[in-house]
Amino acid sequence: MNSTIVDIAKKAGVSTATVSRVINNYPFVKESTRKKVLKVIDELNYYPDLIARSMVKGRTYNIGLIVGGLGNPFFAETAEVIVKTAERYNCHVTLCVTEEKPWKMAEYIDLLITKRVDGVIIGSVFKDDPISRLRDSKIPYVLYNRRNGHEDADYIVQDNVKGSFEAVKHLIQLGHTRVGILHGPLAFDTVEGRVAGYRQALDAFKLKTFDHFVHEIDFSEPENKVQQAMDKMFGGKIKPTAIFTTADFLALDAMEYLLNKNYRVPEDVALASFDNLRLSGHSLISLTTVGQRAEEMARLAVERLMQKIENKLNGNESEAISPWKITLQPELVIRRSCGSHLKSYQNYQL
């Protein structure tokens, strides 16, 4: 039989009104009375709502998830994994979409602090972010996909430099000497690393970088920006024979542009990318891309956050000084868009 407020009042020796005040966190209740009522609530396993449950257990069973935008398939896919993994810990997820705007990030962090979430997972972090507010509020947090300069931050990321280096190297080994790049905002360390890998590959083979081959794409309106960038790439006398993009959705926009302009992919222009999202293997011309183990990143982020929450509840400070700094190794997934099937070429292993 389920316990009621009357049962709690009788066992605690107080009125039902006092029990209600404690449950609703009203002021002007003696601390000794509050503790006595909360003890009885715990003993009778009475949790009428999450507020009462959090008061007794010291947690809300709610975590925050901050992502850049669900229009980016990477965040949509990883958010799904995070929600499902959190459910195994009986946790709800409050989803916050920043649209890659730093001021929205600050607002959401303040909101999550106000909601007294147990912890926060952040997939959309800039190199300079207000996440120190979480640390100051003693709220555990974990970064995935991106990281920033905080030495004490836990993160699970991909080796972006190596991944893009190998993708561009693969294109060069197929005979391409004029390789363009479409990349996202350099405010993100993921993009910074992938652009660095692109440049390192060109340098390794002593290839020239043409200014009109390199374009930064604003994620707020990527389709229009990709079209403008491609117009510039192919508007001059020297045109690229291959393009590397730092995200699959940019490659798919580039592929659409090329096909609409009657370029053949990969016969005229080869494409390679970074992400290996579900849709990349099912596009009109399957996409050669760097797999970044998105599901593993998302799962590890939840598991680490739950460890940090438990450490906080148990007063275990020793774990806090040893943050996770996990860098997952990439895997090049070779499909038709790079044109390797047109040549005598052995699969290249990272």
What is the model's pLDDT at position 344?
44
* SS3 label, residue 92: strand
What is the model's pLDDT at position 349?
35
Whose structure tokens read 């509050």?
34
Radius of gyration over every alpha carbon of the chain, rounded to an integer in angstroms: 26
Exposure letters 121-154 (e unless 16+ CB within 10 A, then b): bbbbbbeebebeebeeeebbbbbbbbbbebeebb
Domains in the chain, ordered, with CATH? Answer: 5-48 (1.10.260.40), 61-153+294-328 (3.40.50.2300), 160-292+333-344 (3.40.50.2300)
Q: Which residues lie across from 242 on neighbouring strands? A: 179, 270
What is the model's pLDDT at position 38?
86
Q: pLDDT tens digits for 117-139?
A: 999 999 987 765 667 888 888 89
| Helices (H), ranges, 44-174 | 50-57, 73-87, 102-114, 132-136, 160-173
Sign, Cα dihedral of 253, 125, 144, 50: negative
- The conformation of residue 98, written as its DSSP 8-state character, comes to -
What is the model's pLDDT at position 317?
53
What is the model's pLDDT at position 222?
67
Low-confidence stretches of the chain (pLDDT < 50) are 344-350
Of 250, 122, 269, 152, the closest CA to residue 194 belongs to: 250
What is the model's pLDDT at position 149?
66
